[in-house]
Copies of this chain bind each other. A is one copy, B any other.
Amino acid sequence: MDREIGFIGLGSMGLPMVLNLLKSNLKVKVYNRTPEKARDAVAAGAQQMDRAADVATVGGIVITMVSNDKALEEVVFEKDGIGKKLGVGGIHLSMSTVSPKTSRKLASYHEQQGSYYVASPVFGRPEAASAQKLFLLSSGHRDAKERVKPLQNALGQQVFDISEEPGGANVIKLGGNFMIMAAMEAMAESFNLAEKNGIDRQLAAEVYASTLFNCTVYQGYGQMIAKKSFEPAGFQLSLGFKDCNLVLDEANSTKTPMPLASLLHDRLLASIAKGRETHDWSALARVASEEAGLE
Residues on A facing B (Cβ under 8 Å):
100, 123, 135, 137, 158, 160, 162-163, 165, 167-168, 171-172, 174-176, 178-180, 182-183, 185-187, 189-194, 196-199, 203-204, 206-208, 210-218, 245, 247, 250-252, 254-263, 265-267, 269-270, 272-275, 287-288, 290-293
Contacts and interface: CB of A to CB of B under 8 A. Distances in A.
Given A275-B293, A290-B290, A175 B198 contact: no
Contacts of A247: 193
Contacts of A273: 255-257, 291-293
Contacts of A293: 255, 270, 273-275
> What are the 9 tightest A-B residue pairs by CB atom distance, in nearest-first order?
A182-B186, A196-B254, A215-B215, A273-B293, A262-B262, A255-B273, A175-B190, A270-B291, A189-B258
A182 B183 contact: yes
Contact of A256 (B196, B199, B257): B196
Contacts of A258: 189, 192-193, 266, 288
B176 A208 contact: yes
Nearest to A122: B211
A255 B292 contact: yes
Given A186-B179, A256-B196, A203 B251 contact: no
Contact of A257 (B190, B194, B255, B266): B266
B207 A213 contact: no
Given A193-B250, A196-B256, A257-B292, 20 more contacts: A135-B207, A135-B210, A160-B207, A168-B199, A171-B193, A171-B197, A179-B190, A180-B212, A182-B186, A183-B186, A197-B254, A212-B217, A213-B215, A251-B269, A255-B269, A255-B293, A258-B266, A260-B260, A273-B292, A273-B293
B123 A292 contact: no
B197 A100 contact: yes
Contact of A261 (B189, B203, B255): B189
A194 B17 CA distance: 28
14 contacts: A123-B212, A185-B260, A189-B259, A189-B261, A193-B250, A213-B215, A214-B216, A258-B288, A259-B262, A260-B260, A260-B263, A262-B262, A270-B293, A273-B293
Contact of A269 (B123, B257, B260, B272): B257
Contacts of A213: 179, 183, 215, 217
Contacts of A196: 254-256
Given A207-B137, A212-B216, A215-B218, A178 B158 contact: no
A27 B198 CA distance: 37
**Which residue of A193, A215, A290 has the most chain B CB atoms within 10 A of its CB atom?**
A193
Contacts of A217: 212-213
Contacts of A272: 255
B211 A135 contact: yes
